[in-house]
Amino acid sequence: MSVLTGKELRIVGFLCNWCSYGGADTAGVGRFVQPTDLRIIRVPCSGRIDPLFIVKALLNGADGVLVSGCHPRDCHYSQGNFYARRRLEVLKHFLPVLGIDPARFEYTWVSASEAQRWQKVVSSFTERIHKLGPASRLENTALPDGLEKRFAAIASGELPSDGKAATRLEELKDRIHEFLPDLDIVIGWQRGFDALHNTPLFMRSAEDLEKLVWGPLNIHNTATYLPSLRGKKVGVVVKGCDSRSVVELLQEKLVDRENIVVFGMPCSGIVDLSKIDRALRERGTGIGRVQAAECGEKGVTIKAGGQEYRFAMEEVAADKCFHCEYPNAVLADHLIGNASPSSSNGKISRQLAAFDAMSLQERMAYWRSQMDRCIRCHACRNACPLCVCKDHCIAQSRDPHWISQEDTITEKLMFQVVHAVHTAGRCTECGECERACPMDIPILAMKRQMNRAIRELFEYKAGTDPEAVPPLLAFQAEEKNIHEGVL
Amino acid sequence: MRIGVFVCHCGSNIEGTVDTAAVARAALGFPEVALATDAMYTCSEPGQDAIVQAIREKGLSGIVVASCSPRMHENTFRRAVERAGLNRYMFEMANIREHVSWIGKDREANTNKATELVRMAVEKLRRNTPLFSNKFDVTKRVLVIGGGVAGIQAALDCAEGGKEVVLVERESSIGGKMAKLDKTFPTVDCSSCILGPKMVDVAQHPNIKLLACTELKSVGGYVGNFQVELRKKATYVDWTKCTGCGQCMEKCPSKKSEDRFNERIGVTTAINIPFPQAIPKKAVIDPASCRHFLKGKCGVCAKVCPTGAIDYEMKEEVLTEQVGAIIAATGYDVFDISKIGEYGAGRYPDVITSLQYERLLSASGPTGGHIKRPSDGAEPKTIVFVQCVGSRDKSLGRPYCSGFCCMYTAKQAILTRDHIPDSQVFVFYMDIRAPGKLYDEFTRRAMEEYGARYIRGRVAMVYPQGSKYIVRGADTLLGTNVEIEADLVVLAAGAEAAAGAPALAEKLRISYDPYGFFVESHPKLRPVETNTAGVYLAGSCQGPKDIPSSVAQGSAAAAKVLALFSKDKLESDPQISRVDIKRCVGCGKCILTCPYGAIKKIDFRGEPKAEVVATVCQGCGICTSTCPQGAAQLAHFTDDQILAEVNALCRF
């Protein structure tokens, strides 16, 4: 059983019980003739509609999804549609990132008495979907030649820098030394198994402090470990981006301000080890063969397979560092040295711009090719400082059963969308998800797009104010930047 | 699970455009469906019996009925499955009438769509679980907000029904708009003569606690158990001592206080009892005009008061009351006529509202019942009434009809002739709306017996000429312009929602329409209930109403309260949210977004967790769509249930 081939398309409707479902009933009672494509799912309130239901439908075969609720101020539950409006508007901005035409999704308001309006809504939305035709299916898209290359290695631009990074390590050590007796633990970085891979360092004593290092190889986000150390007195050394995660964790009350001491270090950018690996591979070697490495603010010098390679910082810096807006800690008890100048120039990053230049079809194909590599290790989630659901992630749950164990691209992509939606208005773009991905899938791009939507709609940036209420957990009766109701 | 599917013909309503037998056949192929059949009228007694019988004989554990809207018959069928021993929530409906058979004639498409809706219902039912209500106690006291005629009626009926009533009134006396009226249509009987005794009854009823000069501060709790905070304003007169003798008013030297009771026609004393029949008949000092408060010395009232009731140091108080139900009867406001510049209200003293005119007609009014022009006190001979001022006017954002203006204008036309026999009355009207009992006869009397000249048309402008006013308008029946030289112009100002209505609605957690009137649960079938359980509506706060309708709604609201209080225990709706404590990480996002404050933070073995207060939760599901780890799940609309429906549609 499916839609009547050639006659109907698959259109799913989510209607609130009190207004719009009633309106659809009233339209039926009044014999207002409507197209037959729409199938209606009844929910108590538009506020009950998780945007992920809509993504689920669109990724699994729906050609269009229509949501309808009570008119603003008229909600049976007084506020549900206000929350819905924000979340659904964000989704509308986000769908094109996945290569889904946002016109395939619409939300509107129909009251229980507006039979005629309901008829008009159904008719015009159905007509719109028929004009768009059947939706492209993720599994069937093919990647046009050269697209991947076009997207890779496009990040460039200004890096934050003040040229004094080297002298700061001693200053930082002195400061930590001063406070270490009052703290259970201080989180920083140390040299890892080779010269390139620095790893987090948990300092309890003066001997531990000697292992502390500072430089562009301090990639890990130190804030990630804070929630698991709750209850202890913890010091944490942060880069600008790490500090935003601290702010976010404070805002969500997952760490206690009185129990953490933040040491802010001005950052001049970190390296992306994947880029180094790619560059080394192009030269016939690889990151696994590195014997020695020297890394400063200007760049990296690597000895591998007996040869020396030099990369300028611009070649190997992480994408997020170009045009960095927050090289300094936004929250710190102790700021070390002078602040790095921000390299942000208000422009959107080239990565986003390149993504914008792709057609919807290309974007879907792009994600298809990228997500094909996903091995569902969930390292992205585990590295994310804001994935606080820990063992209860809905990606691995039967109840609720959002994602099945089927090895399909749809399910893999669905997980990334879950991550992006759950971190919408919370993600600080620290890039840990992408850094942790063993398959080098550029998943940060998805979150940056989401953040852009949040910024445009609500003029909000996550991780800058511990007292702020994130936009998706709030609403305004009159939304400045949302103009819904085109149907 | 063994599922039974019943596909209803609804006579020819469904069968006419849906092949119900084919739908039933297809349903047999759906998972766990043990029986599928079509039936003529499933909701009829034999139809329901067939379901009951099938459950018993075939050992069914869940039922799908494909018929009309669940908003129509969900409860009918839930009771049926309950009769057969199943839990009422082991039931789903597929709406194949309003959403299928009635909106298109393509039998093939309809049959196909109906089959899919049945599949959806089956897939949801497979994930349903039995749900059980909780029982809780009821506080059998009711709060009535507003002491106009609707509130008075509601309070008296509840009190007569043996329940305790707390009646709060913002002003210093109950009576509302009706107390300001001179006479009432269509009987032309004296308003205070019929309202007065009721007001006295309120004062004397042992079950009624009357709190005047009091406003609602906040409401907590839920049906059966509301905690209400009331703000009792400072009156500067100790009402336990005040006897209402009025000596203070006679001696008060400050006579420039705004006379709100007389609709600001004239002024009154700073210490005041608004009208002779006031209940409670107690004095109140207006600190905005009292010399003691303005200049720091005077104290005349304190000297003359025989009981020593004056207390200049009095402070506002906050009272707390426990009630089980709330009736909102907060009435309406009169449209501000100065918003229509071309009629000159506000600039020309002799352009007044009907309610002001009513005070001029009243023997207890500022003119002692003699009609006098506010400007010079002269008796007007030509009076022009203009209807629909601030009603039925989209340009003013007032597209609705205020309903009672046609009638009171006719009444005032009659009374004018009674007061001034040689006067001439003109009425500009759009349509005459007089649908009540004896109403149309009444307007006819105004025209035929009392010689009021009705002119069908709008007034374009009013401007002064000498001591008179020229009213320029159109007579659309004759197709001419009309100019009338009037001594007094009375504008039938429409009703609008009371100024604080939206704020009150938010405290009560009820909805209000774009104009600020409170929204009833169903416009026809639940006219006094709201969507918040335990909160009821009476009178014009729900929409403009005349006295008979307000009284009827007051009684209706009281009947609902008495029915609610007839039970010792109430049952909660089990379709509420629950938090799985194992999954909850205590992030508090649900607490932040719940519109009812129904989720609280608890400490569970030293970890913060969220917990739903079952009696407060209304089942909206915002928490469920907010909780990232799916710990908060709205029963009967869980993620899995909705996902099952999505998958039933998209993955086949």
Contact B109 A7 (CB under 8 A): yes
Q: How far is CA B197 from CA B62, B192, B576, B577, in A?
A: 58, 8, 46, 49
Tell me the sheet residues that pair with A67: A14, A107
Q: Quick one: pLDDT at residue B64?
A: 98
Phi, psi of B495 (to 5 degrees): -95, 140
- The residue among A224, A239, A221 whose CA lies nearest residue A165 is A239
Please, are residues B626 and B635 in contact by the beta-carbon 8 Å criterion? no
Contact B593 A83 (CB under 8 A): yes
Q: Distance from first CA to last CA of chain B, Å, rounded?
A: 21
d(CA A480, CA A461): 17
Q: Is A145 exposed, middle or buried (0-12, 13-18, 19+ CB in 10 A)?
A: exposed
d(CA A303, CA A287): 10
d(CA B223, CA B529): 12
**Residue ranges with strand state E in B138-186:** 141-145, 164-168, 183-184
> Could you give all domains of chain B from N- to C-terminal order, each with its CATH number?
3-125 (3.40.50), 141-233+316-331+502-565 (3.50.50.60), 247-304 (no CATH), 335-496 (3.50.50.60), 577-635 (3.30.70.20)
Shortest CA gap B70–chain A (Å) = 10
**Residue B4: how many CA atoms within 13 Å on its side-chain side?**
27
Minimal-distance CA residue of chain A relative to B23: A1
Hey, is B435 helix, strand or coil? Answer: coil
The pTM (predicted TM-score) of the whole model is 0.76
Minimal-distance CA residue of chain B relative to A393: B629
- Which tokens sit at B206? 């042992």
Shortest CA gap B551–chain A (Å) = 27
Q: Which residues, other chains included, contact B489 with Cβ-Cβ below 8 Å and sequence gap of 6+? A: B343, B348, B350, B351, B352, B383, B384, B386, B462, B469, B471
Of B97, B514, B630, the CB nearest to A400: B630
d(CA B652, CA B643): 14
Q: What is the DSSP string of B234-272?
A: P-SB-TTT-----HHHHH-S---EE-TTTTTSSEE-SEE
Q: Quick one: pLDDT at residue B155?
A: 98
Query: For residue B522, how many other CB atoms are within 10 A of its CB?
Result: 13
| Segments in chain B below pLDDT 70 | none
Minimal-distance CA residue of chain A relative to B641: A400
Please, are residues A336 and A264 in contact by the beta-carbon 8 Å criterion? yes
Minimal-distance CA residue of chain B relative to A52: B625
What part of A 35-94 touches B (C-beta under 8 Å)? Answer: 35-36, 39-45, 47-51, 53, 56-57, 60-62, 73-80, 83, 87
> Is the pLDDT assigned to residue A393 strictly greater than 60?
yes
Please, are residues A262 and A223 in contact by the beta-carbon 8 Å criterion? no
pLDDT digits (tens, 9 = 90+) for A167-216: 789 999 999 999 999 999 999 999 999 889 999 999 999 999 999 999 99
**Residue ranges with strand state E in B278-324:** 284-285, 317-323
Residue identified by tokens 């807006």 is A325
Residue identified by tokens 């600008």 is A240
Contact B109 A8 (CB under 8 A): yes
- The residue among B223, B227, B215 whose CA lies nearest residue B325 is B223
Phi, psi of A220 (to 5 degrees): -60, 145
Query: Which of B645, B647, B651, B652 to mutate against chain A (most A CBs within 10 Å)?
Result: B645
Phi, psi of A52 (to 5 degrees): -70, -25
Element holding B463 (H helix, E strand): strand B459-465
Shortest CA gap A387–chain B (Å) = 9
Residues B146-182: b if buried by 16+ CB within 10 A, e if exposed:
bbbbbbbbbbbbbbebebbbbbbbbbbbbbbbbbbbb
Hey, is A125 helix, strand or coil? Answer: helix
Tell me the sheet residues that pair with B168: B145, B211
Q: Which residues, other chains included, contact A16 with Cβ-Cβ below 8 Å and sequence gap of 6+? A: A43, A44, A45, A46, A48, A68, A69, A70, A76, A80, A81
Contact B70 A42 (CB under 8 A): yes
Query: For residue A455, how many other CB atoms are within 10 A of its CB?
Result: 14
Contact B120 A41 (CB under 8 A): yes
Query: For B195, left (φ over 0), alpha (ψ -120 to 50), or beta?
Result: alpha
Please, are residues A177 and A206 in contact by the beta-carbon 8 Å criterion? yes
What part of A 387-406 touches B (C-beta under 8 Å)? Answer: 388-390, 392-394, 397, 399-402
H-assigned helices in A14-132: 20-29, 51-59, 80-94, 115-132
pLDDT digits (tens, 9 = 90+) for A49-106: 999 999 999 999 999 999 999 998 878 888 999 999 999 999 999 999 999 999 999 9
Q: Give the mean pLDDT of chain A.
A: 90
- The residue among B170, B152, B171 whose CA lies nearest residue B259 is B171
Please, are residues A20 and A70 in contact by the beta-carbon 8 Å criterion? yes
* A contacts of B28 (beta carbons < 8 Å): none
Using CA of residue B595, residue B598, residue B599, residue B603, what is the dihedral sign? positive
Please, are residues A351 and A331 in contact by the beta-carbon 8 Å criterion? no
- Which tokens sit at B172? 């210093």
**Residue ranges with strand state E in A320-478:** 334-335
pLDDT confidence bin for A286, thresholds 50/70/90? confident
Please, are residues B545 and B404 in contact by the beta-carbon 8 Å criterion? yes
Q: Quick one: pLDDT at residue A3?
A: 59
Query: For A56, left (φ over 0), alpha (ψ -120 to 50), or beta?
Result: alpha
Angle at B598 between CA B592 and CA B603, to 5 degrees: 75
Query: Which of A2, A389, A404 to mutate against chain B (most B CBs within 10 Å)?
Result: A389
pLDDT confidence bin for A152, thresholds 50/70/90? low
Contact B98 A24 (CB under 8 A): yes
pLDDT confidence bin for A1, thresholds 50/70/90? very low
Q: Quick one: pLDDT at residue A147?
A: 67
Of A2, A40, A400, the CB nearest to B640: A400
Domain edges within chain A: 1-142+347-487, 169-272+316-335
Distance of CA B364 to the CA centre of its chain: 31
Contact B585 A76 (CB under 8 A): no
Hey, is A264 helix, strand or coil? Answer: strand
Tell me the sheet residues that pair with A236: A187, A262
- The residue among B383, B407, B372 whose CA lies nearest residue B495 is B407
Query: Which of A18, A38, A45 to mutate against chain B (most B CBs within 10 Å)?
Result: A45
Contact A35 B104 (CB under 8 A): yes
Shortest CA gap B621–chain A (Å) = 5
> Is the pLDDT assigned to residue A149 strictly greater than 80?
no
* A contacts of B19 (beta carbons < 8 Å): none
Q: Is A369 exposed, middle or buried (0-12, 13-18, 19+ CB in 10 A)?
A: middle
Residue identified by tokens 């205070």 is B192
d(CA B103, CA A115): 11
* B contacts of A402 (beta carbons < 8 Å): 630, 639, 643
Q: Quick one: pLDDT at residue A352?
A: 80
One-letter amino acid at B175 equals G
- The residue among B628, B632, B607 whose CA lies nearest residue A427 is B628
- The residue among B595, B476, B207 whose CA lies nearest residue A73 is B595
Hey, is A351 helix, strand or coil? Answer: helix
Contact A60 B650 (CB under 8 A): yes
Provide the number of CB pairs (under 8 Å) joining chain A to chain B. Answer: 199
Contact A401 B643 (CB under 8 A): yes
Q: Which residues, other chains included, contact B581 with Cβ-Cβ below 8 Å and sequence gap of 6+? A: B604, B609, B611, B631
Phi, psi of A152 (to 5 degrees): -70, 155
Tell me the sheet residues that pair with B429: B456
Distance of CA B440 to the CA centre of its chain: 27
Q: How far is CA A381 from CA A393, A401, A461, B239, in A?
A: 9, 18, 21, 68
Interface membership of A31 toward B (CB under 8 Å): yes
Query: For residue B303, how many other CB atoms are within 10 A of its CB?
Result: 11
